[in-house]
């Protein structure tokens, strides 16, 4: 009995035929190509979702209303304001006559950024002394405030340096003060991190593909054929991996050319690590979908077990909370967030990203192995 | 030794017993028909025989291989056609056939010849590129059969293969099965149609998870006790009400333009006696003929009889849909 059981295991799981694997891969490619919604879900929707999520979580598409309180009224202050007025992300609401007016305008929501130029600004610049301006942000929308204040600080600093090149002056010392919420969070690294979220979509597609086969009954026919669990699982995964990489390329293009996020690391590293991430998400989702009987339960499982926790726990919006550390670490997205930020912003190479990369590789290996081992060629 | 053999096969789903101990011995080359009402356990039985559902108890042997323990060993000699349409609707006719050929390792010249033969066999040559989902009901069934035959299986398990198919396609499908039977393929087919069961060599009647009886179609008709008289009349409802009071009456069913009346076998000249009884009730009829019961009557009678026994035994009345 034990011997025959052992034989059965050998014949089911180890022996693999390239011909049968190829047949399933070809079939799966055809399914994806012919199902417009599926094709869209895997290839195009990651890029679209990245745009939507990035605006949702970080950028404001509207121009930022802006007012100034010029207490200096010098030629120099006028020059600075002219420079800012040409910026396409700012909308000049007008000049105010007092601090109180500035505060009232922000409280009423008429403006979201304010600039105060102190008396003596022009004289200090001309005399070559370091001078000060004050930038005011609306902390009720901390992400926009942080982004815009950082940007304006940079712009004013640049303007000051340009002025100094013409006149030997020390740079302007910009002092930022945030009203209403002094603890702002930076959203600079949002877009690369969101790649981890949008690349769950190919996994969602594979979960649908696996359960659809059960729902439509084709799995029953297939179960009565010599197809092996390894051939079936890999035959499903490989086409979604290929199309998932296409989808990833689209999302990365959006990050680079739409959001202008710099890629400081190597593109080859990014491609390789994205492959590992896709393998890990596809594998883990395949394992979970193996226990689901219908497309709707599989879809709900992917949403509740992967997409939603990944958005909130993987360190995209907030640093990983020590209390949810274990849950976060068990999500492939958490590790890819570290990788994506490291590659895009810090220019890290794969040596520096060894830990998250190793975890993703192990997740991929274990989940695919267990998906194969737990697949039952049975119905009911 | 039988090609398909099972003993004491059982399977339950929660509290529902789907198959409650089935024995089968199907000889090589035999065509065996399994009939029974919906919910009798036919599909569950076939799934277990096909090795896609694990039995709770019992043994199955197909060509000497233990299907329960080593289902992978019977895959290459088994062709299984599930009840539901189970091909890929978005793949074309030819693509479906090629897929199954590759899965079963049919390759090269053999693959080409085999597919051409099956396309001709199923009369699907002109529909090679049509997506399977856009075929008619009958063509879908024929394509599913062709896919199940791609690897020349020795045993064919067909679960209601002609369900929902028009009569002409149904006839065509059975002509194909008859050809396979002549080629020596062992066939087990379930069907709700009596005329189809009558085309099998042997018929088993399944009810509530058991095979009540099995025999040749002609012998099955003798299971009905008594004699069957066919009363041809205009007002069948009045006749039906009247025959119930006829001495020796066992059972009756309407059948098209006539009423089939089962009477005790020991009556002398039952036609004349029944005619007299009906006239005494003041009813007119065209004629009364002695007739052989059809398989359907045998089927209904056996199940009704079994339910009577259950009621007498104090059991709950099982629901039967016919």
CA-to-CA distance for A128 and B258, rounded, in angstroms? 118
Residues B109-153: tens digit of each pLDDT: 999 999 999 999 888 999 999 999 999 989 999 999 999 999 999
Q: From the CA of A48, how many Å to the nearest CA of chain B?
A: 27
Chain B interface with A: residues with Cβ < 8 Å: 13, 44, 47, 50-54, 66, 69-73, 75-76, 78, 80-82, 84-91, 95, 98-100, 102-105, 107, 144, 147-148
Confidence band for A317, pLDDT divided at 50, 70 and 90: confident
Residues of B in contact with A31 (CB under 8 A): 88, 90-91
The SS3 assignment for A170 reads coil
Q: Which of B206, B203, B299 is nearest to B20 (CA)?
A: B206
Matching CATH number, A63-179, of 1.10.4160.10, 1.25.10.10, 3.40.50.300, 3.40.1710.10: 3.40.1710.10
Residues A26-77: tens digit of each pLDDT: 999 999 999 999 999 999 999 999 988 887 776 544 678 889 999 998 888 8
Q: Is the pLDDT of residue A14 over 70?
A: no
Q: From the CA of B302, how many Å to the nearest CA of chain A?
A: 30
Residues of B in contact with A225 (CB under 8 A): 75, 100, 103-104
Are residues B53 and A216, on separate chains, in Cβ contact within 8 Å? no
Least confident of A58-72, A225-239, B150-164: A58-72
Confidence band for A10, pLDDT divided at 50, 70 and 90: very low
Optimal mutation site among B14, B88, B93, B163, interface A, most CBs of chain A within 10 A: B88
Are residues B75 and A225, on separate chains, in Cβ contact within 8 Å? yes
Domain with CATH 3.30.70.980 in chain B: 225-292
CA-to-CA distance for A69 and B240, rounded, in angstroms? 104
Residues A327-380: tens digit of each pLDDT: 899 999 999 999 998 898 888 888 889 999 999 999 999 999 999 999 988 886
Beta bridge partners of B32: B188, B202
Q: Give Rg (Cα) of chain B.
A: 23
Domain with CATH 3.40.50.300 in chain B: 4-87+148-220
Are residues A223 and B89, on separate chains, in Cβ contact within 8 Å? no
CA-to-CA distance for A200 and B226, rounded, in angstroms? 70
Fold of domain B4-87+148-220: Rossmann fold (3.40.50)
Q: Could you tell me whether strands B57-62 and B4-13 are parallel, antiparallel, or unpaired per DSSP bridges?
A: antiparallel
Residues B20-42: tens digit of each pLDDT: 999 999 999 999 999 988 889 99
Count Cβ atoms below 10 Å from residue A144 Cβ, excluding itself.
20
Using alpha carbons, list the distances in angstroms from residue A364 to A229, A279, A280, A340, B304: 17, 5, 4, 18, 58
CA-to-CA distance for A223 and A271, rounded, in angstroms? 36
Closest to B52 (Cβ–Cβ): which among A7, A23, A379?
A379
- Domain extent listing, chain A: 2-56+188-374, 63-179
CA-to-CA distance for B257 and B288, rounded, in angstroms? 12
Closest to B87 (Cβ–Cβ): which among A26, A221, A227?
A221
pLDDT at A56: 79
Are residues B87 and A220, on separate chains, in Cβ contact within 8 Å? no
Closest to B99 (Cβ–Cβ): which among A11, A27, A217?
A27
Residues of B in contact with A217 (CB under 8 A): 82, 84-86
Asked if the interface predicted TM-score (ipTM) of this complex is over 0.95, the answer is no
Q: Name the phi and psi angles at A370, rounded to 5.
A: -70, -30
Give the distance, in angstroms, between the CA of residue A30 and the centroid of all CA atoms in the same chain.
30
CA-to-CA distance for A46 and A40, rounded, in angstroms? 9
In CATH, the number for domain B225-292 is 3.30.70.980
Residues of B in contact with A7 (CB under 8 A): 70
Are residues A226 and B105, on separate chains, in Cβ contact within 8 Å? yes
Name the average pLDDT for chain A. Answer: 85
Are residues A221 and B91, on separate chains, in Cβ contact within 8 Å? no
Name the average pLDDT for chain B. Answer: 88
């Amino acid at each position: 009995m034990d011997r025959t059981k052992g034989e059965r295991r050998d014949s089911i799981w180890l022996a693999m035929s390239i011909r049968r694997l190829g047949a399933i891969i070809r079939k799966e490619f055809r399914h994806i190509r012919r199902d417009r919604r599926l094709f869209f879900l895997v290839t195009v929707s990651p890029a679209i979702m990245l745009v939507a999520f990035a605006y949702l979580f970080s950028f404001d598409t509207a121009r930022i209303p802006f007012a100034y309180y010029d207490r200096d009224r010098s030629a120099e202050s006028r020059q600075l304001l002219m420079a800012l007025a040409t910026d396409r992300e700012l909308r000049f609401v007008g000049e105010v006559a007092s601090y109180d007016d500035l505060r009232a305008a922000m409280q009423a929501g008429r403006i979201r950024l304010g600039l105060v130029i102190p008396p003596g600004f022009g004289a200090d610049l001309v005399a070559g002394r370091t001078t000060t301006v004050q930038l005011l942000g609306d902390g009720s929308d901390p992400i926009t405030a942080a982004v815009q204040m950082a940007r304006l600080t940079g712009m004013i600093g640049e303007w000051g340096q340009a002025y100094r090149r013409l006149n030997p002056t020390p740079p302007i010392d910009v002092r930022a003060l945030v009203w209403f919420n002094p603890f702002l969070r930076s959203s600079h690294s949002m877009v690369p991190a969101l790649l981890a979220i949008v690349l769950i979509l190919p996994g969602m597609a594979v979960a649908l593909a696996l359960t659809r086969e059960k729902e439509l009954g084709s799995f029953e026919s297939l179960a009565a054929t010599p197809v092996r669990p390894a051939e079936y699982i890999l035959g499903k995964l490989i086409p979604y991996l290929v199309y998932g990489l296409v989808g990833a390329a689209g999302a990365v293009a959006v990050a680079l050319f739409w959001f202008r996020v710099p890629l400081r690391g190597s593109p080859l590293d990014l491609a390789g690590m994205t492959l590992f991430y896709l393998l890990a998400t596809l594998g883990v989702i395949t394992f979970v979908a193996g226990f689901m009987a219908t497309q709707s339960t599989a879809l709900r499982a992917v949403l509740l077990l992967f997409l939603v926790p990944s958005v909130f726990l993987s360190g995209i919006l907030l640093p990983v909370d020590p209390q949810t550390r274990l849950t976060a670490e068990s999500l492939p997205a958490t590790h890819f967030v570290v990788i994506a930020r490291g590659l895009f912003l810090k220019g890290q190479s794969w040596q520096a990203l060894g830990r998250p990369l190793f975890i993703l590789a192990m997740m991929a290996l274990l989940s695919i192995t267990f998906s194969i081992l737990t697949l039952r060629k049975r119905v009911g | 030794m039988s090609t398909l053999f099972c003993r004491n096969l059982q399977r339950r789903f929660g509290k529902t017993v789907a198959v409650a101990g089935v024995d089968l011995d199907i000889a090589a080359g035999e065509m065996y028909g399994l009939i029974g009402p919906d919910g009798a356990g036919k599909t569950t039985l076939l799934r277990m025989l096909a090795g896609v559902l694990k039995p709770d108890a019992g043994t199955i042997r197909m060509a000497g291989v233990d299907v329960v323990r080593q289902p992978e060993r019977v895959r290459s000699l088994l062709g299984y056609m599930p009840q539901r349409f189970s091909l890929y609707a978005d793949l074309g006719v030819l693509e479906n056939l090629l897929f199954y050929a590759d899965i079963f390792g049919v390759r090269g010249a053999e693959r080409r010849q085999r597919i051409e033969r099956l396309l001709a066999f199923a009369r699907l040559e002109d529909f090679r590129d049509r997506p399977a989902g856009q075929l008619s009901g009958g063509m879908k069934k024929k394509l599913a059969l062709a896919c199940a035959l791609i690897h020349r299986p020795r045993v064919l398990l067909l679960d209601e293969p002609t369900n929902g198919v028009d009569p002409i396609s149904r006839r065509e499908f059975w002509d194909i099965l008859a050809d396979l039977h002549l080629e020596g393929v062992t066939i087990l087919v379930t069907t709700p149609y009596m005329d189809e069961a009558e085309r099998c060599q042997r018929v088993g009647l399944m009810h509530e998870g058991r095979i009540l009886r099995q025999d040749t179609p002609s012998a099955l008709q003798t299971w009905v006790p008594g004699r069957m008289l066919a009363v041809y009349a205009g007002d069948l409802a009045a006749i039906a009400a009247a025959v119930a009071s006829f001495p020796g009456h066992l059972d009756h069913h309407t059948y098209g333009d006539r009423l089939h009346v089962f009477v005790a076998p020991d009556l002398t000249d039952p036609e004349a006696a029944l005619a007299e009884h009906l006239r005494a009730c003041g009813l007119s009829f065209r004629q009364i003929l002695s007739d052989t019961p059809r398989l359907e009557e045998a089927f209904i009678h056996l199940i009704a009889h079994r339910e009577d026994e259950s009621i007498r035994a104090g059991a709950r009345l099982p629901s039967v849909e016919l």
